[in-house]
Structure 1
């Protein structure tokens, strides 16, 4: 592997020591100046659907302006989560990010987090194996708002844990402004990255017509290598940890495979046909491509002391036990969306009428390496044999129409209010095709042998088990799943000033949610009439009644009683959600406020694909069976909900020299849409299981002791745990008190410092950010009380990340040099291990990256 030592550790430590005096957790943007405001000004947000200074909003919100994002070098949602208390990101097996806010997160069912571009929701439900949210690029944004706690009253279903909003700038009809940015960087043990972006906008007709256009391109260099080699098992159970598997005959296949390209463009216009009407059409486009998604590194191949990450490449062969199979050189992934929208605002005097219409069209395709999965679950091997290859091609699409109309008060007085209606029609489709080059040659296969029952001599174990050959010669599994979510909702929220200092708030949303789904299946793994090596007619017996016998060799595959049968189904369901909110706030002084809220969040019911036939035995053990004792995985699951109770305070002291913000929360989550692992076939399903409690706090402090120096500190603590044991048919999936899956580190500590020193017409600055994520708590496979407990499964350990930046501003130009992950930390995030297997895989962070950024604002 290449070791590009761009910055010696000793140099990084010296640089850190020079900035440590100015460090104390990342700047909480709640007191940062908005663009164009005087230093010390406040950000204005629309978290309550009306414009308010952030320090006056009685909920827990973090807001980051474009200026703050540039200062901190933020490039994606992972960076936002790293610097925001109560927010955690967990990668999944297909490189999909699951975002948790205050411990409320789920890889199953509909999203628990609302994600908005302006007023358009773009989150998805878990459908198939690779559904995900595509977050917008962090360029030419007015701000990003992270709202902690359920936001169901104003933002609807899917905002149980909170909401992330990406707010874009409107086209101005009064002045021309713009920004440009370029970036060049290189990564230890990796390739170079670069970026170019431009945004400009202003009036075409003064006070009447404005335009704004932006374009963004970023290439992120890869840092994971792929090698070929011969795996050698050292411990069949994985008891030796990452040393349970070694590789011989290693050879570099390709370096830095996980590079990616992101392109985004936007065109927005503003029309003001009159002083009281504003029309703002816009269109957004974004695409992402990587030639090799490589979701995780293999711990046995990687060197964590030097942050050198490696994954295996399984090269296919064509011989007596391997079919010809067209396999990509990597695991390519393509993802793109197009989002036109139209916003119309009319000032009516007593209120403002706002209509937002949008359409979100997204298409993704991805190739996943399933070689290890098929080697374990089908061949019974711990690692693939030479020449083995299995791939799964996945495509997902979204077609989302949304319409919102709201009326909100604009005149003064003690009562302010907003009321409106919302409609959405969201269609998701997930298609998966899995192919192998070795499955038809396995002998035996699940205990079934060549030449045996029911088809006799000349027929393979594969045909005797599944009853049909692979699709097109290579495909064992096909599924096509479509879900159509329709939501119609009405909402209202009002705040009344009892006195000049005391306010009360009440809100409610009533939504009618409907889901329709259709599923179709094909391929041997989905054949409901598979003989499974028995000399009897499929489906004619139960666990107590013998089946109807046949003579071995009497029938051929696919004939007579062995004609294949596949589960093609359609169903629908609906539910009504009522999500109220209550709040009270007291403005003790112009700079100090305390508040308390109680609010409900809701997540609608959903549907899922049926599991393949090789899961049947364990499904029966789990109790998922019909009245005849035959396996039947659930194809629907119900809604779940949360109640959240929060109290907080916001204060500014000594004319803004000190800003303190904090909140405590208590959340009850019931009827949770949970993942149930079916380990024998490496699959899972969704069911409503158990209840949980999440409680904790978030605190932030910003101090500006002298001119040019800003120190900030943030601490977040979340204890998200199951209330009681979660048991299915005698199996304890989770123990009471164990952590909720994907809830992340209980403790997050972030420190930052920013020092600016003007000289003549230039301003020099240095900045440092430090983040600590604590050790995660035990749950599921890492919990000794769980049925799935694996004594060799590791718990994600604590880790620290340090970022440094220094630069100079002169005129409208900002030049800076930065070092991200300055000490080359190499945490093993979600280090994965399948029970009684020697393979350990892990998600990783980008190694030390040194770069130069040039930014221009005009």
Structure 2
């Protein structure tokens, strides 16, 4: 935090300057506080929303970026208390998670590879909390507490939000310390034993000099899946979070904010279980139905929405995360200097059942991990009205990850993973006790120089070029030691399931990213813009084990992953009319990525993780419409929609989908067996032209709220009825699209009814997934091409009551 402290000393020298600290130029009359709590791109048709998308205060309608803003009140009323729940409000945001570590946030279908997490690469959607970069989406799975607003920026943002924000950024701002004493309390109870409590308090410690804000949250909920074997509910919630901030007006021109936070999550989570089966190319006696019958095994239910499982490994998804940051804003007259110094940690302690059923096939599967990061950003930005605005800065980032993986096979592994007619397959001792201990290390260093100019060529026309020079270096180590239950040399059968590996991959390179935006204001309420961006997502290294060749040796050439190279084009129109009671914003985009980083499924018998590979080229294109209307002072409406066409343009050597996998090796001149028919399987498949996983072609969010003024117990306010709906069309849930893993489209409806008084009470009953729609969040395959498809159902209908009080 040395740069921030240096700013403090410099500010004290300049203490004679009496200009009040104002780090960025912006509107003089932002929307009043009562307006900052609504939902939508433009406050549902009224008022101005002030955002910091370009590292300065501007109204959302004047920023030539496709951006959506969700205020703190909307987060509370819609139940969007973490990143995953934002997807019901923002159609072009996708979030998928099998547990906190294996989470991915995508925008317009891009960002992170779909599938199990690999620490050797980075996300393409930048997560920022109070200007601090969060290097892993897992470290941003905390519950929102005391949040003022969330800005979702769509499209490459690498110039100002570097560290690989090739798909977009999620910019979270919490409420700052206040010199006026204030407090907030929010209590929620619901079915499934749901309880959530949030509280914050703020006020001066030293009049007009030092202020503090303290906030805390607690969330608990019974699980939604019942384990009949362990007699307990699973996929529960158990979260605790605290945050403190101290704001110091060090001098008339210098503000410093010291922040610290800690979050602990310890749910009985996370289970995926039987959804369906599909035929593969394995011999019939080695597919799921025959294997389960031979063991005398049957799942508790073949209907996943009975929400029953019998997995026999204890589940755990414990994580601790937190950190410290020091933010300095120094007004130097005509410009402002900002320093953001931060240290963060994330500790992960899991336990999974990766065979997904109640047989002791894989009895232990866990990868505890300890991660820490240090980052330093230093920016200078022009202030006031001028012909040429600028932002320039330096960024440094360092990250360390240590992981201790453990996988143990159980007594049912031999019959399930080996040929049941072979000597090894008939002997439970062949694989029982087979253990892989993986020691994984990772060091990641990045540095950047960036800048963006905005030339106001006329009162209506502006041209904004940006440039970023970035250096990345990654060093890793992967050592897998495999032992059997008898401490003897491994047999061929054992090496085919868990093979020893040891390799030390590395990657480093320089790259230059750039963008240019031309914006034209037809009127004060009609804005056009056009953007071209050439950006990069850093290359990476495989740290989940490498695929094996036919001799069960790791393929070392796959240890390093090339950078993604992105070409992005976007046209946008932002409009307000009817006395600014109506807002309609449209964005059309076309993005092409060379060497797309994909997580692909490893179809080897006992390998539970995917690995990384470069697809030749992918393309995503589409159109988005965000609209909000306030026809009367009582009625607010919003409707957002997105059409996204995302596909592999060229991926000729991809792993095959399950219906074309699991068979015997294809010999020269031999024809592969038909899909789902036992026989020979191709080594790889050409999936060019297929959908990218995890992306719905059509997605919508829509809603309304009607207020009726009333006075209750002497408190003036309004009764209100609100509705929020969302729809997503079918999407692929496998890197290589399969008929078995397509997730059908679904729609969700949420209602709320309550009474609220401005800056005082808000009491409302809520109903989410009101029609109890059955839907999957994702589907996946069991390892080894058995044909078992497992799923993760979304939440059933939930209901409850929320009471909040501001004072």
Aligned to 1:822: 770
Q: Distance in 1 between matches of 2:261 and 2:466?
A: 32
| Structure 1 position 747 matched with structure 2 position 747 | no
Alpha-carbon distance in structure 2 between the residues aligned to 1:94 and 1:731: 32
| Structure 2 CA distance for partners of 1:158 and 1:296, relative to 1, 3 Å | farther
Give 3-state SS (helix, strand or coil) of 1:132's partner. helix
Distance across 2 between alignment mates of 1:283 and 1:842: 37
Residue number among 482, 488, 495 corresponding to 2:447 in the alignment: 488
Partner of residue 389 from structure 2, selected from 411, 416, 422: 416
CA distance in 1, matches of 2:43, 2:446: 37
Q: 2:538 aligns with which of 604, 608, 611?
A: 604
| 3-state secondary structure, aligned to 1:713 | strand
Name the CA shift for 1:736/1:44 in 2 (closer, same or farther; >3 Å). Answer: same
Distance, in Å, in 2 between the alignment partners of 1:670 and 1:168 is: 37
1:60-459 → structure 2 map (5 Å cutoff): 60-92=66-98, 96-105=102-111, 106-107=113-114, 109-124=121-136, 132-172=138-178, 174-186=179-191, 191-228=192-229, 253-296=230-273, 298=275, 301=300, 307-314=305-312, 330-371=314-355, 390-438=363-411
More displaced stretch, 636-645 vs 387-396? 387-396
Deviations 1:728-752 (A, max 9, x none): 697553522211123x211111110
Q: Deviations over 1:193-222 (max 9, x none)?
A: 001111111222222111000011111221
Instruction: Give the alignment partner of residue 573 of structure 2, picking from 649, 672, 677.
Output: 649
Q: C-alpha separation between the residues in 1 aligned to 2:416 and 2:383?
A: 75
- When residues 342 and 697 of structure 1 are mapped into structure 2, their CA distance, relative to the original with a 3 A threshold, is same
**Deviation of 1:117 (Å):** 1.2
Equivalent pair of 2:41/2:627 in contact (CA under 8 Å): no
SS in 2 for 1:67: helix
In structure 2, the residue matched to 1:543 is none
Matched, 1:846 2:795: yes
Q: Distance in 2 between matches of 1:494 and 1:721?
A: 34
Tell me the distance in 2 between the aligned counterparts of 1:808 and 1:71: 12
Aligned residues between the structures: 706
> What is the SS of the residue equivalent to 1:78?
helix
Paired residues of 1:445 and 1:461 also in contact (CA < 8 A): no
Closer, same or farther in 2 for the Cα pair 1:388/1:830, shift >3 Å? closer
Label 1:579 to 1:280 Cα distance change in 2 as closer, same or farther (>3 A). Answer: same
Task: Please name the residue that 1:832 is paired with.
Answer: 780
**Structure 1 residue 521, shift from structure 2 partner:** 2.1
Task: Answer yes or no: is the 8 Å Cα contact 2:39–2:71 preserved in 1.
Answer: no
Using the alignment, how far apart are the partners of 1:633 and 1:531 within structure 2? 25
Change in CA separation of 1:643 and 1:441 when aligned onto 2, cut-off 3 Å:
closer
807 and 264 in structure 1: CA distance in 2 versus 1, 3 angstrom threshold: same
Which residue of structure 2 aligns with residue 690 of structure 1?
A: 616
Q: TM-score, normalised by structure 2?
A: 0.81
Which of residues 1, 9, 30 in structure 1 aligns to 2:41? Answer: 30
What is the distance in 1 between the residues matched to 2:642 and 2:232? 38
State the partner residue of 1:804: 751
- In structure 2, runs of 5+ residues without a counterpart are 1-36, 277-298, 656-681
Deviates more, 1:291-300 or 1:349-358: 291-300
1:636-687 CA-to-partner distances (Å, cap 9, x unmatched) read 2121121211111111101112111110000011111122322123443212
Q: Distance in 2 between matches of 1:838 and 1:94?
A: 26
**1:818 positional shift:** 0.6
| Contact persistence 2:311–2:353 (CA under 8 A) | no
Residues 91 and 843 in structure 1, CA contact (< 8 A), matched pair in contact too: no
Q: 2:733·2:742 contact (CA, 8 Å) conserved in 1?
A: yes
Q: Deviations over 1:344-370 (max 9, x none)?
A: 111100211111100011101100113
Tell me, yes or no, if the aligned pair for 2:100 and 2:317 is still in contact at 8 Å. no
Shift of the 447–816 alpha-carbon distance from structure 1 to 2, 3 Å rule, reads: closer
Q: Is the 8 A contact 2:654 2:736 kept in 1?
A: no
Q: Following TM superposition, by how much is the alpha carbon of 1:301 offset from its aligned partner in structure 2, in angstroms?
A: 4.6
1:445-484 equivalences under 5 Å are: 474=433, 476-484=435-443
CA deviation digits over 1:596-630, x for unaligned, max 9?
A: 11113322122224747xx635588xxxx7xxxx8
CA–CA distance in structure 2, aligned partners of residues 213 and 311 of structure 1: 41
**CA separation in 1, counterparts of 2:329 and 2:48?**
25
Deviation at 1:70, TM superposition (A): 2.0
Per the TM alignment, residue 226 of structure 1 is displaced from its structure 2 partner at its CA by 0.9
Measured in 2, the distance between the counterparts of 1:163 and 1:443 equals 44
2:777 is the alignment partner of 1:766: no
> Which residue of 2 is the match for residue 324 of structure 1?
none
- C-alpha distance in 1, partners of 2:577/2:484? 66
Partner residue of 2:26? none
Q: Structure 2: how far apart are the matches of 1:451 and 1:218? A: 48
Equivalent residue number for residue 519 of structure 2: 585
Q: 1:262 to 1:734 in 2, by over 3 A?
A: farther
Say whether the 8 Å CA contact 2:211–2:246 is kept in structure 1.
yes
Partner of residue 244, structure 1: none
Is the partner of 1:487 in helix, strand or coil? strand
In the TM superposition, residue 165 of structure 1 has moved relative to its aligned partner by 1.4
Deviations 1:691-741 (A, max 9, x none): 011000110221211221011111111111111342269755352221112
- Measure, in 2, the Cα distance between the counterparts of 1:677 and 1:369: 18
Which consecutive unaligned segments of at least 5 residues does structure 1 have?
1-25, 34-38, 125-130, 229-252, 315-326, 373-382, 453-459, 539-563, 784-790
Q: TM-score, normalised by structure 1?
A: 0.77
Structure 2: distance between partners of 1:297 and 1:114: 34
Counterparts of 1:506-585 in structure 2, within 5 Å, are: 506-524=465-483, 532=491, 567-585=501-519
Take 1:424 and 1:691, find their aligned partners in 2: how far apart are those partners?
A: 29
Gap change, CA 1:833 and 1:358, over 3 Å in 2: closer
The 1:442–1:221 alpha-carbon spacing in structure 2 relative to 1, beyond 3 Å, is closer
- Distance in 2, matches of 1:388 and 1:96, equals 22
Is 1:49 the equivalent of 2:50? Answer: no
Q: 1:433 to 1:731 in 2, by over 3 A?
A: closer
Report the Cα distance in structure 1 between the residues aligned to 2:755 and 2:125, rounded to whole angstroms: 38
Deviation track 1:545-597 (CA, whole Å, cap 9, x = no partner) reads xxxxxxxxxxxxxxxxxxx9954433432111211010011111111111111
Q: Secondary structure at the match of 1:30?
A: coil
Change (3 A) 1:699 1:449: closer
C-alpha displacement of 1:500: 0.6
Residues 478 and 814 of structure 1: is their aligned pair in 2 closer, same or farther, counting only changes over 3 Å?
Answer: same
Q: Give the whole-Å Cα distance in 1 for the aligned partners of 2:63 and 2:416.
A: 66
What SS does the corresponding residue of 1:680 show, helix, strand or coil?
coil
Distance 1:193 1:758, change over 3 A: same
- Asked whether the equivalents of residues 615 and 650 of structure 2 are also in contact (C-alpha less than 8 Å), the reply is no
| Structural RMSD (CA) | 3.2
Take 1:451 and 1:169, find their aligned partners in 2: how far apart are those partners?
62
Deviations 1:749-778 (A, max 9, x none): 111000011024231000001111112259
Q: Distance in 2 between matches of 1:690 and 1:723?
A: 8
Q: Are positions 1:710 and 2:632 aligned together?
A: no
